[in-house]
Structure 1
Amino acid sequence: MAPHRTWLTLAATALLATAATALPARAAGGAAGTGSAAEAGPALTVDLSAPTHPISPYVYGMNFTEEALAKELRLPVRRWGGNATTRYNFRLDTTNRASDWFFENIAGENANPDALPDGSETDRFVDQDRRTGTDSVITLPLIGWAPKERAKACGFSVEKYGPQQSTDQWAPDCGNGVRPDGTLITGNDPHDTSVEIGSEYVTDWMAHLRGRYGDAAGGGVKFYNLDNEPDIWHSTHRDVHPAGASYDEMRDRTYEIAAAVKAADPKARTLGPVGWGWSSLTLSGSDQQRCAIEGCWSNPPDQAAHGGVPFGEWYLGQMRAYEASHGVRILDYYDNHWYPQAGVFGGDPADPGDAAKQALRLRQTRTLWDRTYTDESWIGQPVYLIPRMKDMVARNYPGTKVAITEYNFGALGSLNGALAQADVLGILGREGADLATLWDPPTSGQPGAYAFQMYLNYDGKGGRFGDTSVLSGSADQGRLAVYGAKRNADGALTLMVVNKTGSDLTSPITIDGGAPGGTAQVYRYSGADLAAIGREADLPLRTTAVKPGASAPRATASATFPANSITALVVADTVPPCAPSGLRAGATTAHSVALSWSPAKDNVAVKGYLVSRQSAGEPVKTTEVTAAKATISELSPGRRYTFWVQARDLAGNLGPKSAPLQVTTPRR
């Protein structure tokens, strides 16, 4: 049984947005350039001369992905998280499902319980990741409790605590902790289900994982989440932690557990404080609990007691203070979850809702980046989550990375959900997030899976979106979003274009700063075929005059992007390097000569050089080097040799020969 989420409950209590404007009614799909139905679309621009930044491969992660999909996508990272992971006993392979399922201890489906802890749920999780070449994120407990036994137990026994509003149909003595009159049962005994644990538990568990898989530097578990949404323990785990976690408790528990992680595996990376959402950025669990009752939102008491500093800022500052005092960084990623609060979720992932909800879902991706977008929910203000988190880190603990280990924009079983997901993946890379893992991922064959495939394996042969973000823009990102990146392995330019409208859009494309090739391969996912990514006809690029002030030619094209579609444009580098110049000889002996030359220029990057030589009556011999110099040996005394050099770029394009150089080796 997979862990359940709390955001459904939280979203139900939020103030929902007013009705959104519907998309133009039109069937999804259709091929590019199918006639007069296409509308003029916004201009798309790319500037390859502008500053770039790396795209972390870890932004394409998921929680609990099935093995077939993880293998197909070459999934970079997978998280074992959720409410049930807050209370997990690795020795017993047993979780407590908290408020998700009647606060019950439920044993893992272990084939051989006598062999535990070997073969536990988390062992099997890491085993799968090793088979698919995926890095693992494992959630460690900060809460201080773990299940006491494998046998069924529950936090609110009906026999012990009286009648309750709801009980487990398969275990009727287990209730939800709410009396029939709606009041919460309090004063229950945490030992009904759990036993106390501390840092020694984490140390022992990590020793077990290292024993099976090695340490983080040697291929073992690389990432550890510092619990899961501790700021709502008072709701999700109230049978053992009824009081909201305070500023000081979160600091102290993080110091204890994160320090234990670093002592056990110094190269392991930690992620915290793993808040549930918007409120987590500014409020402790104590303030969230108390102000929900007392309405003290304008002056939260725990925040006031800490100088009025918002919780996230204070937490980062405390982690920085620990490193200053102890010389050890115990927090590597500032981690916060994100679920849109504006009513985009439904019960069926294949049902995206009506046109208004679909349009709202596509607008809600702006909460991740857009400082001008006012969130259409009870939040009622700009969120710009990734820039906000990065700003918080820069002010309070520079060098900390940014993670979102749970997010979901809904309807991943539909084309509309796939469009939103493709947009999110582009945003994560463009905005410089460092790690992100989708909660409740799609299965292979669902539209949401194809959104990932467009970035990670668009051609079924390992074709991936680039790993260096380049400046790309749309005149109307809300209608036609574009994301650009260079692929380091071969210098290809990759563009991901998401048409969020119900109309075909024909847009001009301009690439400045040196387009890497003359045509773009086109891969597309749309309503024309929800079961496959299509390979479309290549898109020709036209080279035009140099942009004023630019040093490289401009490439232009016009393309039609079908309604509700995701299109990958892959511009392979077909431009060879220039010929190297200045070939000259240095130290020369009877059997060797030292050559050097000026580095060749290329529109992307030179990978290496082929140095060729020939002497009368001998075949051409070639040596490949990476630097603009080479010492050529195994020569014969007293012979004349002709040398020339050619440059090869990342894509394998071989440039023209340099001017020849003749060298005669001295006689003995």
Structure 2
Amino acid sequence: MPRIRSRPAPLVLLAALVLATGTTGAGGMSGAALASAAEAPGLSVDLTAPTHPISPLVYGMNFAGESLAKELRLPVRRWGGNATTRYNYLLDTTNRASDWYFENIPGDNPDPGALPDGSETDRFVDQDRRTGTATILTLPLIGWAPKERAKACGFSVARYGPQQSTDPWNPDCGNGVRPDGTQITGNDPHETSVEAGPAYVTGWLGHLREKYGDAARGGVRFYNLDNEPDIWFSTHRDVHPAGPGYDEMRDRTYAIAGAVKAADPGAATLGPVGWGWNSLTLSGSDQQRCSIEGCWGDPPDRAAHGGVPFGEWYLAQMRAYEQEHGTRILDYYDNHWYPQAPGVFSGDPGDAATQALRLRQTRTLWDRTYTDESWIGQPVYLIPRMKDMVARNYPGTKVAVTEYSFGAMGSLNGALAQADALGIFGREGADLATLWSPPAATDPGAYAFRMYLNYDGQGGRFGDTSVLSSSTDQSRLAVYGATRSADGALTLMVINKTGEDLAAPVAITGRVPGGTAQVHRYDGADLTKIVRAPDLPVRPAPTGRSASTISTTFPANSITELVVLDTVPPTAPGTPSAGRPGPRSVTLSWKPATDNVAVTGYELTRTGADGTVVTTTTATRTTVTGLSPGRRYAFTVRGRDAAGNRGPASRPATITTPRG
């Protein structure tokens, strides 16, 4: 979670749409109403272009409540943040670090005598198992854990003197800053903590494995390698006052990640879990030193490591470990992301200028041409940047963002930014993402997730294969498209980020016209629900036979999802061709059927004196057995698609089996 800015400062085709057909009647708006909407950017979807899978893990959260997680069938949930860096599973006690006076606080455990059973993390995993959600737990690299199940604090007023701020409920616990503004140094970490290294991690994973099974058998699947270690010098300075350098991060990762893989080889690790922009290029040591000395142009720890930026060096070191030991100990390159532009990361949506800025800031996730409007002052393009770093230094490593937030989850503006971010994660090929500080189930931000995970209240989900979708101006009207493998549906999400209605057709290449598009919309008209609007026709486009269009108007500040169900059956396959039949078998083959989405299988019908038999296959060639010698048989074949549409039968092929 964001606690420091280490350098001082000098939005799947998910769309909010009200759709128009240009005619009056059910599902349409009048031509006058359509004409009154502002001219919109052009939207297009190309189903003939290359595609890629969307990882379901990009729709995760930190600490989501059980009812919302169950409703959404939340794919992944993280137990993370500053308090998880120092946690003792044996005592169910955390140290809250700089978030709350560096205090050890025991968990609210109903039966402390049963520990480690029933700890906070056990209960976290228990919830995830009830909701079918994968778990991410945070493990300590810092080397310390609370020493006992009792309250204690890192900077006692009785021991270290008056401090600028103290815990209102425990006034002996201070914030570690003297009244004159200087930080207290030289305190003893053992006042709150005991050493916790690889053996501690091995013991914890042993407990989890015994209780839940290993990762391959339904146990905990993911482990964060600590939380934002590059700013321990601030958040956990009572036990780690110096920012960790390149070598320390490598060595601690080798030790702890190695312990994870030894204890549970199927578990995935995520690191180095940096706090933000500086984490990509600077070690904690350089961040701490340069924030004091201003050495940003030539950071000394980087210079001592050949001038290689920290993230690049870290990935190369993880690759070197695998090359030497034959074991991959890093599965995900993980970095947190909080927009640094003023007022964006806030629960308050802010004024009109801040709200517009929030919607622009989602471009930091992908846009190589967007100069970040903060002290960063350069293009960020976070997901492509991280993927490029992986490709150069440790191919095969996945990319994760286990904390991010664009703020204002209680507002429509925040929901628009969140919906945009989820679309970007899918389109850009991120592998895992978990929102920090999850929305309440009634917050508009929760509806952004519902649009992807439960748009109809019956489990309707956005597609799982990203298709090429583009807007001529994504800053005004963002569009994301995906097909759904379960039924071949095309799902289109469009987000109107402006304060005016925008009229535009969605042009779809590679989909024959016909049928209708469902319309699911979330906007300011009613922030308590997603509205099912009348269906819209999928009409022919002027560009060709395999092209269609949906005419729409996108209301101001809205999210709309179009769901184009596959109602078009496959064409008839070619007439089956028989090889030389045997007395009891024959091999048949046929030219494939075609379909507007994809043919997923064939039904082969056999008719003869011994009755009619239907068999299924996914191939265009099969061997039929169980025939009788000296009998005459007729065979026809028809295609079917993922939606269950069955095409017409082929012309029949007739064969007679020899008598033997």
**Kept in 2: contact 1:517–1:571 (CA 8 A):** no
What secondary structure, in the 3-state scheme, does the structure 1 residue paired with 2:121 have?
Answer: helix
Amino acid at match of 2:598: A
Is 1:153–2:155 an aligned residue pair? no
Please, which of 506, 528, 531 is the counterpart of residue 528 of structure 2? Answer: 531
The alignment partner of 2:426 has SS state of helix
User: In the alignment, what sits opposite 2:5?
Assistant: 10
Counterparts of residues 190-209 of structure 1 (less than 5 Å): 190-209=189-208
Cα offset for 1:666? 2.9
Map of 2:503 onto structure 1: 506
Structure-2 residue corresponding to 1:628: 620
1:492 and 1:516 in contact (8 A); partners too: no
Deviation at 1:314, TM superposition (A): 0.7
CA contact (8 A) 2:602 2:638 kept: yes
**Residue 271 of structure 1: aligned partner:** 270
Q: Would you say 1:416 and 2:408 are equivalent positions?
A: no
Assess if the C-alpha contact under 8 Å between 1:225 and 1:272 holds in 2.
yes
Trace 1:447-486 onto structure 2 (pairs within 5 A). Answer: 447-486=444-483
Distance 1:654 1:631, change over 3 A: same
Q: Aligned letter for 1:241? A: H
Task: Give the letter for the 1:109 counterpart.
Answer: D
1:246-301 alpha-carbon deviations (Å, 9 max, x no partner): 11100000011011111111111110000000010111111111111111111111
Q: CA deviation at 1:593?
A: 3.0
1:82 and 1:615 mapped to 2: Cα distance? 69
Cα distance change of structure 1 residues 305 and 524 upon mapping to structure 2, 3 Å threshold: same
SS at match of 2:321: helix
Letter in 1 for 2:38: E
Please name the residue that 2:25 is paired with: none
Distance in 2 between residues matched to 1:6 and 1:309, nearest whole Å: 25
Alpha-carbon deviation of 1:37? 4.2
Aligned to 2:23: none
> C-alpha offsets along residues 568-590 of structure 1, whole Å, 9 cap, x if unaligned?
01111112112111412235344
The letter of the residue matching 1:15 is A
Q: Does 1:657 align with 2:649?
A: yes
Tell whether 2:482 aligns with 1:488: no
One-letter code of the match for 1:409? F
Q: Distance in 2 between matches of 1:407 and 1:464?
A: 22
What is the aligned partner in structure 2 of residue 215 from structure 1? 214
Amino acid paired to 1:225: N
- CA distance, structure 2, for counterparts of residue 320 and residue 639 of structure 1: 65
Contact kept, 8 Å, 1:276 with 1:338, in 2: the verdict is: yes
Aligned to 1:25: none
Distance in 2 between the 1:132 and 1:267 partners? 21
Q: Partner letter of residue 615 of structure 1?
A: G
TM-score w.r.t. the length of structure 1 is 0.94
Report the 3-state secondary structure (helix = DSSP H, G, I; strand = E; otherwise coil) of the residue aligned with 1:373. Answer: coil
Q: Residues 334 and 470 (structure 1 numbering): CA distance in 2 closer, same or farther, change over 3 Å?
A: same
1:20 — aligned with what?
none
- Equivalent residue number for residue 315 of structure 1: 314
Answer with 458-467 or 72-81: which moved more. 458-467
Q: Find 2:371's aligned residue among 374, 382, 396.
A: 374
Given that 1:577 and 1:602 are in contact with CA atoms closer than 8 Å, whether structure 2 keeps it comes out as yes
Q: Give the partner amino acid of 1:613.
A: R
Of 574, 589, 607, the residue aligned with 1:596 is: 589
Q: Equivalent residues in 2 for 1:492-641 (5 A)?
A: 492-515=489-512, 518-544=515-541, 547=544, 553-615=546-608, 620-641=612-633
- Which residue of structure 2 lines up, in the alignment, with residue 178 of structure 1? 177
**Secondary structure of the equivalent of 1:68?**
helix
1:29, distance to aligned residue in structure 2 (A): 9.5
8 Å Cα contact 1:493/1:516 also seen in 2? no
Give the corresponding residue for 1:115. Answer: 114
Q: Which letter maps to 1:507?
A: A
Change over 3 Å in CA distance of 1:555–1:315 after alignment to 2: same
Residue matched to 1:400: 397
State how far apart, in whole Å, the 1-side matches of 2:40 and 2:132 are: 40
Q: State the distance in 2 between where 1:30 and 1:181 align.
A: 59
Following TM superposition, by how much is the alpha carbon of 1:592 offset from its aligned partner in structure 2, in angstroms?
Answer: 3.5
Letter in 2 for 1:362: L
State the Cα deviation string for residues 121-155 of structure 1 (Å, max 9, x = none). 11110111111111011100000000000110000
SS at match of 1:598: coil
Relative to structure 1, the CA distance from residue 626 to residue 414 in structure 2 (aligned partners, 3 Å threshold; closer, same or farther) is same
Shift of 1:43: 1.0
* Residue identity in the other structure for 2:124: F
**Greater Cα offset, 592-601 or 124-133:** 592-601
Residue 287 of structure 1 aligns to a residue in which SS? helix
Distance 1:284 1:530 in 2: 43
Alignment of 1:286 onto 2:285 = yes
Letter in 1 for 2:657: T
Offset at residue 596 of structure 1 (A) = 2.2
Letter in 1 for 2:461: R
| TM-align CA RMSD | 1.7
> Which residue number corresponds to residue 295 of structure 2?
296
> Structure 2 stretches of 5 or more lacking a match?
11-15, 21-28
Query: How many angstroms apart in 1 are the aligned matches of 2:59 and 2:512?
Result: 27
Which residue type is aligned with residue 654 of structure 2? Answer: Q
Distance 1:638 1:185 in 2: 98
Shift of 1:197: 1.2
Contact 1:282/1:311 (8 A) holds in 2: yes
CA distance in structure 1 between the aligned counterparts of 2:216 and 2:238, rounded to whole angstroms: 38
Which deviates further from its counterpart, 138-147 or 623-632? 623-632
Q: Quick check: 2:513–2:549 contact (8 Å CA) kept in 1?
A: no
Partners of 2:313 and 2:597 in 1: CA distance = 44
In structure 1, the partner of 2:98 is 99
Could you list the per-position Cα deviations for residues 594-646 of structure 1 after superposition, in whole angstroms to 9, with x for gaps in the alignment? 32222222222212111112236x65432222222333344344332221001
Identify the range of structure 1 (177-186 vs 336-345) with the bigger mean alpha-carbon deviation.
336-345
Aligned partner letter, 2:617: V
> Which 4+ stretches in 1 moved above 6 angstroms?
28-31
- Listed one character per residue, the Cα deviations across residues 214-244 of structure 1 (whole Å, up to 9, x for unaligned) are 1111111111100000000000000000011
- CA-to-partner distance for each residue in 1:498-536, whole Å, 9 max, x for gaps? 000111110121111234853211111111111111111
Contact 2:17 2:553 in 1 (8 A): no
Give the Cα separation in 1 of the matches to 2:504 and 2:359.
20
Instruction: Give the conservation status (yes or no) of the 8 Å contact 2:17–2:559.
Output: no
Q: Show CA shifts across 1:180-204 (max 9, x none).
A: 1111000000001000111011011
CA contact (8 A) 2:91 2:148 kept: yes
Query: For residues 47 and 436 of structure 1, what CA distance do their matches in structure 2 show?
Result: 26
Q: Residue 419 of structure 1: SS of its match in structure 2?
A: helix
Q: Percent identity?
A: 74
Letter aligned with residue 280 of structure 1:
S
* Per-residue deviation, residues 433-481 of structure 1 (Å, max 9, x unmatched): 1100000010112100000010111111111111111110011100000
TM-score, normalization: structure 2? 0.95
Match of 2:351 in 1: 354
Q: Equivalents in 2 of 1:533, 1:582: separation in Å?
A: 48
Amino acid at match of 2:154: G
Aligned twin of 1:260? 259
| Structure 2 partner of 1:336 | 335
